[in-house]
DNA sequence: TAGGTTGTTCGATGTTCACCGAACTTCGAA
DNA sequence: TTCGAAGTTCGGTGAACATCGAACAACCTA
């Protein structure tokens, strides 16, 4: 629930905010993981930073409109806002993801096993 | 001449550096101006910042590989590295420019009249 | 050669950012 | 109801950034 300014409207998104959010390798790694369309929770991201830092990065991604978050009980589910991004900035996400894949940007972000990987 | 680290190699460019360079509205405005493929010098950019600040922003763009610079006498000519960018990060520049045009990002950057506007 | 033009560099300032550990809130489960 | 798990928030730190004015170097031109 926390975080009243979560999930900004599509028309509030700005290009420079999106690009700034994607200018950090760790955040690109997070986005690449979420690119499968599945929902992820905090603990499913295997990142080499403290959990407060991860919380910060996920907040940046959400504020820029890159993720959709849904809180359920004590945990929140995150998912890429691919359709909204595509509407607002056509092809941008695909193009960045393709380049990130080619260069393996943010490969230090992994997926913790034992959690759901299926697209709901 | 100054600036030994100018015009980095294509294979040295990183995605996150390019995105970081494009995460500033003023720099996006500069890139949009140069999108016509012409060469620009310092004084042709009508920007609302001090010339030292403009120098800084143009250095950031060059360091990220977005521009090609050629020094001639007392002035330097800048041009978009469109082909190199397209090779390294296919469609990225076009996609960002299209989004920037739609949103009119960096419109506070103008073109000083009286200078060359023709593609050489 | 004396000036003006062009662009860089140098502090200096205030802001933002990435990062951490620790304290805190919420909630589900035992 | 007590405990642990999931995230958030807070204070703090060092680095990076945007910005300015002023001083500087390089060059062309009158």
pLDDT at position A66 is 98
Burial class of residue A96 (count of CB atoms within 10 Å of its CB; 0-12, 13-18, 19+): buried
Tokens, residue B87: 């090779």
pLDDT at position A112 is 82
| Closest partner CB to A92 (pick from B14, B99, B105) | B99
Spatial CA neighbour of B16 closest among A33, A45, A48, A106: A106
pLDDT at position B2 is 55
Tokens, residue A108: 């230090």
Q: How many CB atoms lie within 10 A of CB A60?
A: 18
Tell me which H or E stretch contains A88.
helix A82-88
| Closest partner CB to A15 (pick from B17, B20, B103) | B103
* Domains along the sequence of chain B with CATH: 10-102 (1.10.10.10)
User: How does pLDDT run across B46-105, given as a tens digit for each residue?
Assistant: 999 999 999 999 999 999 999 999 999 999 999 999 999 999 999 999 999 999 999 999
Mean pLDDT of A33-53: 97
Name all protein residues with C-beta less than 7 A from any atom of nucleic acid chain C: A 1, 20, 24, 26, 48-53, 56-57, 60, 73-74; B 2-3, 41-43, 51-52, 55-56, 58-59, 74-76
Alpha-carbon distance of B78 to B34, in angstroms, equals: 8
- pLDDT band (50, 70, 90) for residue B4: low
- pLDDT band (50, 70, 90) for residue A2: low
* Three-class secondary structure of residue B54 per DSSP: helix
Q: Enumerate the nucleotides of strand D whose atoms come under 7 Å of any protein CB.
A: 4-11, 17-23, 26-28
Scanning every residue of chain A, which has its alpha carbon at the shortest distance from the alpha carbon of B96? A92
Tokens, residue B55: 């120098």
Phi, psi of A91 (to 5 degrees): 70, -10
Q: In chain B, helix, strand, coil percent, each to 5?
A: 45, 15, 40
């Amino acid at each position: 629930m926390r975080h009243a300014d979560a999930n900004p409207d599509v028309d509030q998104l700005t290009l420079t905010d999106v690009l700034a959010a994607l200018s950090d390798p760790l955040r690109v790694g997070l986005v690449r993981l979420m690119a499968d369309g599945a929902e992820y929770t905090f603990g499913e991201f295997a990142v080499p930073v403290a959990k407060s830092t991860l919380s910060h990065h996920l907040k940046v991604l959400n504020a820029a409109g890159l993720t959709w978050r849904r809180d359920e009980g004590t945990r929140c589910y995150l998912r890429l806002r691919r359709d909204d991004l595509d509407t607002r900035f056509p092809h941008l996400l695909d193009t960045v993801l393709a380049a990130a894949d080619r260069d393996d940007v943010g490969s230090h972000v992994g997926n913790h096993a034992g959690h759901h990987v299926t697209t709901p």
